[in-house]
Amino acid sequence: MPTHALTQQNFDQTIARGAIVLVDFWASWCGWCTRFAPIYEESASQHPEILHTTVDTEAEQALTAAAQITSLPTLLGFRDGLLVYTKLGFQTAAELEDAVQNIQWMDMDEVRRERGIQHAEPAATAGQVAPARGAGLAAGPARYGWPGLKLG
């Protein structure tokens, strides 16, 4: 799955509607950003269940300022609309994969408790059951097992 560009106009609704959304803040003049881009794109291909997005900091200066981005590249990870991961600087493919796995396995009930956030279940429409959200693996295939588990 390709990455998607975010703007100030679509940022909030994109974060709110995705179970897991990664946001890569980058600039064309940033050497580390250009090195990270193919790693990030490969992650998008490997994890189609996760929305991989990008913000061009030169074109989206107001959004970059609102997000308080001070270093490039910066990767933000959101789950269920909550910021759960921030990494400044370059990441290797293994580091990014580790971050993805940790975000997928987060106990979101615990995250909400720590932050004092009441969890509101989405309202069910007529004849439908509201989807369960909370602790455990995020939506998508469970391909890798528990974070930190080393096989072989």
Q: Which residues are catalytic?
A: 30, 33
Contacts of 133 (CB under 8 A, 6+ apart): 19, 80, 108, 119, 121, 122
Q: Both ends of the chain: CA-CA distance in Å?
A: 29
CA distance 99 to 75: 10
Q: How far is CA 53 from the centre of its chain?
A: 8
| DSSP secondary structure letters along 83-98 | EEEEEES---HHHHHH
Radius of gyration of the chain from its Cα atoms, rounded to whole angstroms? 16
Other residues' Cβ atoms within 10 Å of the Cβ of residue 89: 12
